[in-house]
Amino acid sequence: MSHPAPAPSTQRITVVGDALIDELRDPQGSREFVGGAALNVAVGLALLGQDVTLVAMLGDDEAAQHIRSYLDDFGVRLVESPSALGTSRAISDRTDGEPRYEFNEAAQHRSIRFDDATRAALDEADLVVVSCFPFDNAAQYAELVDAIARPEERVIVDGNPRAGMLADRAAFLENFEDFASRSLLAKVGDEDAELLLGDSLDAFVARLGRDPVADDAPGFGPAILATAGREGATIHDGRLVVHADIVELSGPVVDTMGAGDATLSAIVQHIAERGLPQTTIAWETALREAMTIAAATVRHEGALLRKPAHDPVYPS
C-alpha cells in the first residue's frame, strides 16, 4: 500500500467534534450520561493510554460543568468553543419500542471556533480525529480544511451524521466525501449510508475510493473502515479487503450506543502505536482488537469504552 503512516511512537491525539449530554428515557425512567461521538472517542483513547485533547463546543451552564469534570476525570484536555445556545443535548426515547432521537437547538447549531488554541491543538497533534463535525456548514468546513496540515498523513474522520442535526444532507455528503479523500482513514457505517445515500454500505464505500483493479495506481484514497453492526467490520485499503466478525464475550448485550466509537478508538490506538497497517495480517490484528473492545463496551450501559475482563471467544 502507498499510504504514508505515522510513526509507531505517536501519542498526541486531538479529537475534533461534539460533546453533549445523552439523556436516555425508557420505561424505567430517565438517566443522563456525558456523551457525544467525539467525546466518546477522546475518552476511549485516554483509557487506552493516549495523550488526548478534545476540541468541542460547550455552553455556560451546568451541563458544561458536568462535561468538563468528566473529561478531567479521564485526563482529557479540553479546548472549548463557546455556545450562546448552551450545551448540546441528545434525548434518546426508548419508551415506545424503537428508540427515537431528538437534539436541542445547541446541538443542531453546533460549531467549532478555529482560534489560536484550536489551531495549536491541531498543529501539535500526531493524529487528528474528526467525528460528528458539521460538514453541512460550508464556512465551518472551509475552516476545518484550512486548519489541518498534512491530513493524508494524520487525519482519521468519522462523519457520524445524525438525522436530527442535519441541516443539508447533500452538502454534508459532498464535504464529508471531500474530506475523506484527503484523509489517512475514513470510517463509515451502514446507518450513515442509509441516512446520507439511501443506499447500502457497499455503495458508500465505493463512492469513497475507486476500485484499484480498474485503476493504474496501486493505491488510491483513504483506508476505509466500514462498520455494519452485527455483521462486524471491514477494512478497504487499496486492494486489501479485510473483514472481522463481532466477538462473543460473556454476558448479554446491554447497550449498543457506544459500539462504533469504541471500534474507532481501538483502530486509532493501533495506528498511534504501530502505524497504519500495511498487510492483511496487520489489519486482521487491528480489527480483532477493535471488535473485542466494542464487544466489551456494548455489555454496559452508556458509551464509555470498556476493556474485556477476560479473554474473548473468537468465532471459528
Query: What is the domain-level CATH number for residue 130?
Result: 3.40.1190.20
User: What HEC string does the chain produce?
Assistant: CCCCCCCCCCCEEEEEECCEEEEEEECCEEEEEEECHHHHHHHHHHHCCCEEEEEEEECCCHHHHHHHHHHHHCCCEEEEEECCCCCEEEEEECCCCCCEEEECHHHHCCCCCCCHHHHHHHHHCCEEEEECCCCCCHHHHHHHHHHCCCHHHHEEEECCCCHHHCCCHHHHHHHHHHHHHCCCEEEEEHHHHHHHCCCCHHHHHHHHCCCHHHCCCCCCCCEEEEECHHHCEEEEECCEEEEECCCECCCCCCCCCCHHHHHHHHHHHHHHHHCCCCCHHHHHHHHHHHHHHHHHHCCCCCCCCCCCCCCCECCC
* 313 occurs within a structural domain: no
In this prediction, residue 31 carries a pLDDT of 87
pLDDT tens digits in sequence order for the chain, 316 residues long = 455 554 444 489 999 999 999 998 877 888 899 999 999 999 999 999 999 999 999 999 999 999 999 999 999 999 999 999 999 999 987 665 556 789 999 999 999 999 999 999 999 999 999 999 999 999 999 999 999 999 999 999 999 999 999 999 999 999 999 999 999 999 999 999 999 999 999 999 999 975 444 444 444 579 999 999 999 999 999 889 999 999 989 899 988 888 999 999 999 999 999 999 999 999 999 999 999 999 999 999 888 999 987 544 444 3
Q: Is residue 160 part of a domain?
A: yes
CB 286 within 8 A of CB 273: no
Residue 100 lies in a domain: no
Classify residue 92: in a domain, yes or no.
no
- Total number of domains constituting the chain: 1
In a domain, 312, yes or no: no
pLDDT of amino acid 11? 81
User: What per-residue confidence (pLDDT) applies to 160?
Assistant: 94
User: pTM here?
Assistant: 0.90
Q: Is residue 252 part of a domain?
A: yes
Q: Does residue 81 sit within a domain?
A: no
- Cell matching residue 139: 464556512
Question: Which residue segment(s) compose the domain that 209 sits in?
Answer: 12-18+37-60+113-297
Residue 195 belongs to some domain of the structure:
yes
